[in-house]
Amino acid sequence: MRKLFFTVASFLFSALWLQAQQTENLTAIKAGRLFDSEKGVFITNQVILIKDNVITEVGSGVKIPTSAKVIDLSNATVMPGFMDCHTHITSQPDNYMEDLFRKSPIDYAVEAHIYAKRTLEAGFTACRDVGAPELIDVALKRSINAGHVVGPRLYVSGPIIGATGGHADISGFSPYLSFKAINSIADGIDEIRKQVRYNIKYGADLIKFTATAGVLSEEESVGAPQYSQEEMNALVAEAAMWDKKVAAHAHGTQGIKMAVKAGVASIEHGSFLDDECIELMKQKGTYLVADIYNDDYILSEFAKLGYPEKLIEKERQVGKTQRESFQKAAKAGVKIAFGTDAGVYPHGNNGKQFYYMVKFGLTPAQAIQAATINAADLIGVKNKLGSISMGKYADIVAVNGNPEQDITVLEKKITFVMKDGKVIVASNH
């Protein structure tokens, strides 16, 4: 009898211990209004059940286990964590000449974690970083993943690939002036293929290249192509061989068409879209990632930061047209993902773009979809992120107010941020 007693007691103890282990990391979120990003609708009175870092149940009838930690967001609007598909999270402008000539990559590296934390606290739980010097973005991503630094999930490109004298090259200065840096300037098919392999070797999740000229660089054009069609084709084919997507910096009409024909996943900026561009993008399923907020910041602040008038004048040429192009693309049904060019303006203000996306053609729900399920699709992580649904990571944000009625609530203080099941920001609701 004694042996039976101890056997039964041991069994009960094991069962209770196992139950405790299974429930001790449970969190339940009561959501007053929840955005269903896959359907593009807001639903009310939902419960989100989270085990460790994964969402296990969502619905109005979900029973909350007694052992679960309860987070009451009954008076808030709850959404998937936002995703910014065009950031430069390792830097932001302070002074044109100081930034260019007095700072080293070490200066940028020691500051990058500050910008990462600000971005996460603004509700952006994942970002693509599409161009950073000296592989700082790769190092930052690894540090975040290891838990040493607080920041969003990062999907990084490493150094931007570009042509000699192009947007990714430092142009306009004396030929006797040189910079010691990782060189990502590649000309011709063989050099381009090798540079793609180099970036991937050292940690790139995607490839970014300059299909056309740009705004904040010294070359004369703002949008002329900077690679041939054959070079673009080779770059995309090489990236595809390594199972990597390609993002194309492209302002000008001809360069956009060339990049889309080459098979890029996204057109970044897309300032001068014509009807043929739009039709090609729809046929190919190419995403538009247009930074339509930062025109205001560049025109109001960059002269104070010492930027040459030539560059600011380029922005005057581009800004209005880019917004008109975005409006045409939105009306035509081009796929749109949220991307701000954060790093051109101060990090943490990413949410200011929502207002402009609604002003220039999207509904509030579509703008939020661009920053959630669409962004996850572009990055290639739709099975893990982008919606609050069973089996996905618990990346969740909430705000006071109703973004359907006032989209600017998303640029004000985000009152709740959870990344990977861990609460980052929690204010009273």
Q: What is the token pair recorded at 347? A: 């990090």
Residue pair 201/260 in contact (Cβ under 8 Å)? The answer is: no
pLDDT at 370: 98
pLDDT at 10: 53
What confidence tens digit (pLDDT) does each residue in 263-281 have? 999 999 999 999 999 999 9
DSSP state of 410: G
pLDDT at 8: 44
Question: Which residues, given as ranges, of the chain have pLDDT below 70?
Answer: 1-24, 428-429
Spatial distance between the Cα atoms of 113 and 156, rounded to a whole number of angstroms: 15
Residue pair 370/117 in contact (Cβ under 8 Å)? The answer is: no
Spatial distance between the Cα atoms of 155 and 380, rounded to a whole number of angstroms: 10
Q: What is the pTM of this model?
A: 0.93
pLDDT at 412: 83
Residue pair 337/380 in contact (Cβ under 8 Å)? The answer is: no
Q: What is the token pair recorded at 273? A: 């879209």
Spatial distance between the Cα atoms of 424 and 426, rounded to a whole number of angstroms: 7
Cα 275 off chain centre by: 27
Determine how β-strand 124-129 pairs with β-strand 82-87.
parallel
Determine how β-strand 246-250 pairs with β-strand 82-87.
unpaired
Q: Return the exposure string of 286-317: e unless at least 16 CB atoms fall within 10 Å of the residue's CB, then b.
A: bbbbbbbbbbebbeebbeeeebeeebbebbee
pLDDT at 101: 85
Phi, psi of 71 (to 5 degrees): -110, 120
- The contacts of residue 389 (CB under 8 Å, 6+ apart) are 38, 55, 58
pLDDT at 352: 97
What confidence tens digit (pLDDT) does each residue in 166-198 have? 999 988 788 888 878 899 999 999 999 999 999
Q: What is the token pair recorded at 375? A: 């962004």
- Hey, what domains does the chain have and what are their CATH numbers? 25-81+387-426 (2.30.40.10), 82-379 (3.20.20.140)
